[in-house]
Structure 1
Amino acid sequence: METNKAITVLAALAQEHRLAAFRMLAATGETGMAAGEVARQIGVPHNTMSTHLATLSNAGLITPTREGRSIIYKIVPEAMRDLMGFLTDDCCQGRPELCGISSNNAKGCC
């Protein structure tokens, strides 16, 4: 992952409702969740959540799919793996196990 891409991804996650939405969608796995349900569970207006979901989508963290009248959002596992790898590649002089991070966890996320 390039530094500028990492900055974009981290910036997308650096907001309370977007981080909550991403974590919620990560928990749903391949099933995903309708945008309206994400908004309801987080407790924000639908139009506000649409803006947050667009930010996450533009950062490449989630992807929308239309199912009937609903838009279902799912995480993009590769994006999280790439970010985790970027953040841990140089941990402890190339020995992430010294920092308590196994390279399997960093690269095998999601």
Structure 2
Amino acid sequence: MDTNAALDAFAALSQPTRLAIFRLLIKAGPKGMPAGEIADAVDGRQNTVSTHLAALTRAGLIASERDGRVIRYAASFATAGDLVAFLLEDCCGGRPEVCAPLIANLSCLQPSAEACCD
């Protein structure tokens, strides 16, 4: 991830409702949630939440998929992982034992670790 992509992601997450939506979708896991359920969960109006979803999508933090008449949104675990990797690129000055607890906490970013994200 380059600096501009990281800045776009941070800008998208710097608004309280967008951050709440992203965290909700991380918790929902790879299957994601329908847009209407997201709006209900964050107690937002659908048109306003739609604008937030668009901002998160532009930043690459979430993706959408049509499921019949419903649009489902899911977090991009790859982008979330890239963002964390960007932050930690030079972590610990070559001393991996210092980063071990942090890496253990980040195991939830792996899409296969659904149990962690429940």
- TM-score, normalised relative to structure 1: 0.89
Find the aligned partners of 1:35 and 1:75 in 2 and give their Cα distance.
Answer: 13
Cα–Cα, structure 1 residues 87 and 96, in superposed 2: closer, same or farther, change >3 Å?
A: farther
Gaps of 5+ in 2: 111-118
Provide the residue aligned with 2:76 in structure 1. 76
Cα–Cα, structure 1 residues 107 and 96, in superposed 2: closer, same or farther, change >3 Å?
A: farther
Deviation track 1:68-93 (CA, whole Å, cap 9, x = no partner) reads: 11110011111011001000111222
More helix as a share of residues: 2
1:1-110 alignment to 2 at 5 Å? 1-95=1-95, 97-98=97-98, 100-102=101-103, 109-110=109-110
Higher relative contact order (CA 8 A, sep 6+): 2
Superposed CA RMSD: 1.9
For 1:101, what is the secondary structure of its paired residue?
Answer: helix
- TM-score, normalised relative to structure 2: 0.83
Gaps of 5+ in 1: none
Count how many residue pairs are aligned between Structure 1 and Structure 2: 109
Deviation track 1:28-57 (CA, whole Å, cap 9, x = no partner) reads: 112110111101110111000000000000
For 2:93, what is the secondary structure of its paired residue?
Answer: coil
Aligned-residue offset at 1:98 = 2.1
Aligned-residue offset at 1:97 = 4.0
